[in-house]
Structure 1
Amino acid sequence: MIIAENVSNKNNTRKDFDQNITSEALTTIEESSEMLMAKSTVLFNKNWHKGVIGIVASRCIEHHYRPTIIMTESNGKATGSARSVDGFDLYSAIESCKEHLDQFGGHKHAAGLTLQIDKIPNFSAAFEEAVQKSITEDQLIPKVHIDSYIEIDQITDKFYSILSQMDPFGPANMQPVFAARDLSILGDPLILKEKHLKLTVKNKNGNRKINAIGFGLAEYKTLIKESNNFELAFTIQENHFNGTKSLQLYLKDIRIE
């Protein structure tokens, strides 16, 4: 019992690190016009936890779909985890920048690397150049793979608890993506920070309602309000606000019929 409790506590701590670092990383990207225009993401913060940087890289790709490297400080050097997008050879891009690295290893989809901290700017520039030369526009368009259709009434705390037992999610264990159809909107969709969409939905014949947020999906506000038939693709997350927990849909895509 004590062992199980310790494992649970450590897992909750890891989730907190994951969420906080992901939030910091996304804020850094979104506050930089240069990073928003880039075809790769390379971020370094000496205070980030080494144990979750790979997961954070995957989270960043969910929001900004491009090859991503997240780094932190370890033993006086920068150590990083890299994640790719579908079809792009991440390892080859890193290998082309090897003169800036102490060591690296991995494969087409994921890699790890170590370098001197003062070499990060040169490596970042070289990696961006390598990505620009070899990535195609099609590879920069995210493909949404749906694992299963689901009813909103099925998304309960118990369901999320079972889902969470599959954690941690990453390239070898991707977070399940669900889709829902036959939906109604409750109230008026909101636009956050001029580019994000927030709405509340339910199945037309269902009872349960749930909030959903779509980063970068503000353009769908009018379309979704005027449509009588739309589908949502999403992952399910636990939202923490003012000490209250609630389930929330993180939208991957919207399809207007």
Structure 2
Amino acid sequence: MLTSGQGYSRGTVSESGGPRGAVGRGVVGWWVARRAPMGGAPERAPLVDRILESRGITGPGAASFLDPSLKDLHDPSRMPDLDRAAARLFDAARAGERIVIYGDYDVDGISASAILFHTLRHLVPGANVSCYIPHRLDEGYGLNEDAVASLADEGAAVIVTVDCGVTAVGPAAVAKARGVDLIITDHHTPPATEDLLPDAYAVVHPRRPGSLYPFGDLSGSAVAFKLAWRLATLACGGTRTDEPTRALLLELLGLASLGVIADVVPLVGENRVIARFGLSRLRGSRFPGLSALIEASGLSGGRVEAEHVGYRLGPRLNACGRLGHAREALELLTTATGARAAEIAAALTALNDERREVERRITEHAERLAVEAGMTTAGRRAIVLAHEDWHQGVVGIACSRLVGRFHRPTILMQRHGDECHGSGRSIDGFSLHGALDACRGHLIGFGGHDMAAGVRVRADRVRDFAEAFIEEANRGIAPEQLAPALTFDTEAGADELTVAAAGDLARVGPFGRDNPKVRVVLRGAVVIGRPKLMGATGEHASLQVRHSGRVMRVVAFSWAARLAELPDGVRCDLMIEPTINRWNGTASVEGELVDLAMPPARE
């Protein structure tokens, strides 16, 4: 049955209110224009110009946005301590000192580790460099004191972290006491003041206190790429590199793009440049393991896009770190070749299938518990749950599923003995890190940022922590925030959505956080016939609509039940994401349905 909060009405909001900028309500959530509707006919400016204008990109900046250049990347030396870090690593590599790259177990950390590994081995063949990835369950996230001590005992002279370490005061003290030069490279939330930074040989972070670096939202892999770039120019004795080194840097952009996209950092500025050029390097990569992964993911036949990284490559690389140890994913991106690369890629695919099944069970169980606990109501605006049967490495993904369904911050933990370990995800406008900080008295520890975090709590404090966190959520989340705000760029006519126009819209990408897929609203579209079911289980649907003189196909994923009674000939407003469908050598534009609303009845 088709139901909605209220009909979409251009430029108006009902008395029930809505988030700032809302122009109405559809079946799924609030409809929010990026900027106030311009008024007038949709044809008043080319569609891509209106899209860019809605995102605040106008004038000369519009052309450079559509066609970014590697020259848009900032000089690595502008990042604090980066030159010092590069010099120490290069000297250590040439002197044969043992260098250990200490990474995180997710895609960002693995790809960052691979970037530095390949760089050092290229610049100094035979360099004594190895990688260390902590075990997610046994060691937890980040640099830990025991690992530092063990690496020091094994002869490490330099430890360089990637994607972790900016708050690791204790491990830094251990490294210093053992005579190890610790170089920290990270992108997570740094301490507020410089005196709270770890006492390390170098702390490379675009947002560390006192930093003047122009772009603070780099991923861990992007920070590692900046360090690799500086190592390359240092080795080549100037601002330019030799051709083999330049070729390597271009290949490393592919690895950096994996972390940029999979870690869901803002896909703007330098991150977008790295993603745009890095994605183009993935198919046909010179790294055998990466090529094997692409083959195992069914992507060898065409260009690899951002969504392929997010939904195919990234989950496979993450799977072993979630269910076991990430060493095989690291091996795949560093040393694996030939049959070994294919073997690892196939194993990661199998592990990812297992992960998906574990995720499904946890998500369904957590949904039931959340409903039973009243955590899906307006009076309790957060979900905090723990269970001994949940896998600690998978609860973070299950959190994302619950946030998607109930649109409220969610923390899920595995209870193991006297402690619970888990992950949290949030919604826009509510800082998960800030709420955890307010509840720190109930926690053993936590870390992360506004949208995602890891957490540890004593099992006997879970109930108290849950109530305290829900209280923070109730204070910080308005009732209207419990429905998603669906932002669209502009109103459009179906006649504007040509293949050529869709090609122009693709240049707005790569798409991701802070640079989402283009969304347009078709007002007053007329449904032709009844929706047709799609998919093996019939949960998806497609429908034909007529708008501005053109008939257009709209695909509606997971909408079959809601569209079952949509009558032929009804007029409705559609929010869609235009896509190009290629079939049998022909191309056409169709829409992927985001939301639907029935216009208010006229009196």
TM-score by length of 1: 0.65
Where does the alignment leave 5 or more consecutive residues of structure 2 unmatched? 1-341, 495-511, 534-538, 546-550, 578-591
Shift of 1:178: 7.7
Task: Note the alpha carbon deviations across 1:68-98, whole angstroms, 9 max, x for none.
Answer: 1111124641012111111112212111211
Shift of 1:121: 0.8
Partners of 1:185 and 1:44 in 2: CA distance: 47
> 2:363: which partner in 1?
22
> SS at 1:35's partner residue?
coil
Partners of 2:518 and 2:422 in 1: CA distance: 27
198-207 or 56-65: bigger deviation: 198-207
> SS at 1:51's partner residue?
coil
Partners of 1:211 and 1:9 in 2: CA distance: 26
> SS at 2:388's partner residue?
coil
The alignment status of 1:34 with 2:374, answered yes or no, reads yes
Higher-Rg structure is: 2
The alignment status of 1:114 with 2:456, answered yes or no, reads yes
The alignment status of 1:202 with 2:543, answered yes or no, reads yes
Greater RCO, 1 or 2 (C-alpha within 8 Å, sep 6+): 2
Partners of 1:127 and 1:209 in 2: CA distance: 39
CA contact (8 A) 2:383 2:411 kept: yes
Give matches, 1:163-174, under 5 Å.
none
> SS at 1:229's partner residue?
strand
> 2:105: which partner in 1?
none
Where does the alignment leave 5 or more consecutive residues of structure 1 unmatched? 152-170, 190-197, 235-249
Give matches, 1:52-71, under 5 Å.
52-71=394-413
Partners of 2:542 and 2:382 in 1: CA distance: 34
Partners of 1:227 and 1:187 in 2: CA distance: 12
Change beyond 3 A, Cα 1:129–1:210? closer
Query: 2:574 pairs with 222, 231, 244, which one?
Result: 231
Task: Note the alpha carbon deviations across 1:130-175, whole angstroms, 9 max, x for none.
Answer: 111222334333122569x9x9xxxxxxxxxxxxxxxxxxx97999
Change beyond 3 A, Cα 1:34–1:174? farther
> Considering only aligned residues, what root-mean-square deviation do their CA atoms show, in Å?
4.1
Equivalent position amino acid for 1:29 in 2:
A
58-67 or 177-186: bigger deviation: 177-186
> 1:13: which partner in 2?
354
Equivalent position amino acid for 1:228 in 2:
R
Equivalent position amino acid for 1:89 in 2:
S
Query: 1:144 pairs with 468, 480, 486, which one?
Result: 486
CA contact (8 A) 2:414 2:422 kept: yes
Partners of 1:9 and 1:109 in 2: CA distance: 29
The alignment status of 1:89 with 2:431, answered yes or no, reads yes
CA contact (8 A) 2:531 2:564 kept: no
Equivalent position amino acid for 1:213 in 2:
W
Change beyond 3 A, Cα 1:118–1:178? farther
Task: Note the alpha carbon deviations across 1:13-37, whole angstroms, 9 max, x for none.
Answer: 111122222122222223x262222
TM-score by length of 2: 0.30
117-126 or 130-139: bigger deviation: 130-139
> SS at 1:92's partner residue?
helix
Shift of 1:180: 9.5
Equivalent position amino acid for 1:231 in 2:
L
Comparing both structures, which one devotes a greater share of its residues to helix?
A: 2
Comparing both structures, which one devotes a greater share of its residues to strand?
A: 1
Aligned residues between the structures: 211
> 2:530: which partner in 1?
186
CA contact (8 A) 1:186 1:199 kept: no
The alignment status of 1:46 with 2:375, answered yes or no, reads no
Query: 1:125 pairs with 459, 464, 467, which one?
Result: 467
Partners of 1:49 and 1:173 in 2: CA distance: 31
